[in-house]
Amino acid sequence: MERALFLIFAVTAIGAALNVLLRRHPLHSALALLVMLGALTGFYVLLGAYFLAVIQVVIYAGAILVLFLFVIMLLNVRAEEARIERRPYVRWLAVPFAALLGAEIIYLVRVFEENPSPSGTSVGVTEAVGRELLTTYLLPFELTSILILIAVLGAVVLARRERR
Partner 1 sequence: MLRALVVMPLLAAGILGIFGRRWSERVIAAIGCGSVGLSMLLALYAFIELWRLPPEHRVIHEPFFSWIAVGSLQVDWGFHLDALSGVYILFVTFVGFWIHVFSVGYMRGDPGYARFFAYMNLFMFMMLVLVLADNFLVMFVGWEGVGLCSYLLIGYYFDRAYAASAAKKAFIVNRIGDFGFALGIILIFATFGTLRFSEVMGIIAARFPEPEALGEIGLLTTIALLLFVGATGKSAQIPLHVWLPDAMAGPTPVSALIHAATMVTAGVYMIARCSELYARSLTALFLIAFVGALTALFAATIGLAQWNIKKVLAYSTISQLGYMFLACGVGAFSAAIFHVVTHAFFKAVLFLGAGSVIVALHHEEDMRRMGGLKRFMPLTYGTMLCGWLAIAGLPPFSGFFSKDEILWRTWTSPTVPEPWGRLLWGMGFATAILTAIYMTRLIVVTFDGQERFALLTEGQGSTALTPHESPRVMTIPLLVLAALSIGGGWIGLSEAYTGGRVANWFEQFIGPALASPPVHPDHLSALGEEPGHGMELGLAAATVLAVLAALLGARRFYRRDPLRRVPALLENKYYVDELYDALFVRPLVRGSTVFLWRVFDVTIIDGMVNGVAASVAACAAVLRRLQTGLVRSYVVMIAIGALIVLGYFIFVGGRIPIR
Partner 2 sequence: MIPISWYLAVAAVLFTIGTVTVFVKRNAIAMLLGIEVMLNAANLTLVTFSSYFRELAGQIMVFFVMVVAAAEAAVGLAIVILLFRHRETLNVDEAQALRL
Residues in contact with partner 1 by the rule CB under 8 A: 87, 90, 93, 97, 100-101, 104-105, 107-108, 111-112, 115
Considering only residues 8, 97, 138, 142, which one is a binding residue for partner 2 as defined by CB under 8 A? 97
Contact yes or no for 35/42 (Cβ under 8 A): no
Q: Is 89 in the site for partner 2 (CB under 8 A)?
A: no
* CA separation, residue 1 to residues 4, 5, 46 (Å): 5, 6, 11
Considering only residues 86, 88, 139, 164, which one is a binding residue for partner 2 as defined by CB under 8 A? 86
Minimum CB distance to partner 1 smaller for 112 or for 146: 112
Identify residues 115-144 at the interface with partner 2 (CB under 8 A). 115-120, 123-124, 128-129, 132-133, 137, 140, 144
- In this structure, what DSSP letter does residue 85 have? P
Secondary structure of 86-120 in the HEC alphabet? CCHHHHHHHHHHHHHHHHHHHHHHHHHHHCCCCCC
Q: Which residue type occupies 45?
A: V
Q: Is 61 in the site for partner 2 (CB under 8 A)?
A: no
Q: Is 4 in the site for partner 2 (CB under 8 A)?
A: no
